[in-house]
Amino acid sequence: MTSRSLEIRPLTARSVVLSTLLGVHPPRLPARYLVRAGDLFGIAEGTIRVALSRMVASGDLVQDEGMYTLTERLLARQARQDESRLPPTRAWDGTWEIAVITAERRPATERAALRQAMSELRLAELREGTWLRPANLTRPRPETVVRQCTFLNARPESDPAALAASLWDLDGWTESARALRDALRRATTTSEKFTLSAAALRHLLRDPILPPELLPRDWPGPDLRALYERFETDLEQLLMDRVLS
């Protein structure tokens, strides 16, 4: 598979700043540390400082007394990333959660927010206005979802594995996951590991986290997640040793 099909994005000053802040808790660092992070990847200090100014102007960062902090939108992204590393699951009893849109006269902004929230909840759209998934995840529902939807629990009369396969492209996810796993295993440079880890994280955020009995054989999700964790730990240690020390 090509870099484009794997969503491997080019290394930029913005991506280095953003990934560095997303990887620390709390996500707040002085400019000099972010400059050091850029230096790890051969990005000049001036380029990092220009990126910081632009990210403040665009609402990605807040600057306060020389410290840069993620804005609320990106704090939510950090929470989703953290959750994707160890998704909260529960034993599955065969039921599915179903969300039916019952709100009327919704403005375009609310419709867009709902679609984004449904994706983050790992629900799939069966048809317009109806979303569902196996009820094996435990996570809060955002207010925009609660306001617009009514939730039900039910069991499908048809084969649940076939239903899952019709809702999610499990074969496509598997192919990309295996390609990312192989690329991560071959990676040698810090830049390669950084960009591939970011691509792996984006892919894991799209893992539907289905019960094992609904997944294809040899599902690569756990392998990719374990490999991502290993590389992320290595990168975090590199940041500690070379940036935050």
The pLDDT tens digits of the residues spanning 20-71 come to 898 888 889 999 999 999 998 889 999 999 999 999 999 999 998 889 999 9
Name beta bridge partners: 63.
68
The pLDDT-based confidence of 5 (bands split at 50, 70, 90) is low
What is the pLDDT, as a whole number, of residue 241? 86
Q: Which of 110, 133, 130, 112 is nearest to 122 (CA)?
A: 133
Tell me how far apart the alpha carbons of residues 28 and 7 are, in angstroms, rounded to a whole number.
27
- What is the mean predicted confidence (pLDDT) over 210-232? 92
The whole-model pTM stands at 0.84
Q: What is the pLDDT of residues 158-196, one digit of tens each?
A: 999 999 999 999 999 999 999 999 999 998 888 888 889
Determine the residue type at 180.
Answer: L
CB burial class (10 A; 0-12, 13-18, 19+) of residue 52?
buried
Least confident of 2-6, 134-138, 212-216: 2-6
Q: Which of 80, 59, 84 is nearest to 69 (CA)?
A: 59
pLDDT at 2 over 60: no
Tell me how far apart the alpha carbons of residues 183 and 197 are, in angstroms, rounded to a whole number.
10
Q: What is the pLDDT of residues 186-197, one digit of tens each?
A: 988 888 888 898
What is the pLDDT, as a whole number, of residue 84? 67
Sheet with 96-101, strands from edge to edge, namely 124-127, 130-134, 96-101, 149-154
Q: What is the pLDDT of residues 96-133, one digit of tens each?
A: 999 999 998 889 999 999 999 999 899 999 999 999 99
Q: Which of 208, 218, 226, 225 is nearest to 136 (CA)?
A: 208
Name beta bridge partners: 64.
67
Cα dist. 230→46, 62, 92, 219, 233 in Å?
Answer: 32, 30, 28, 19, 5
What is the pLDDT, as a whole number, of residue 177? 95
Q: What's the chain's Rg over C-alpha atoms?
A: 20
Reading the block at residue 194, the tokens are: 């950084």
- Does domain 168-231 sit in CATH 3.30.1330.40? no
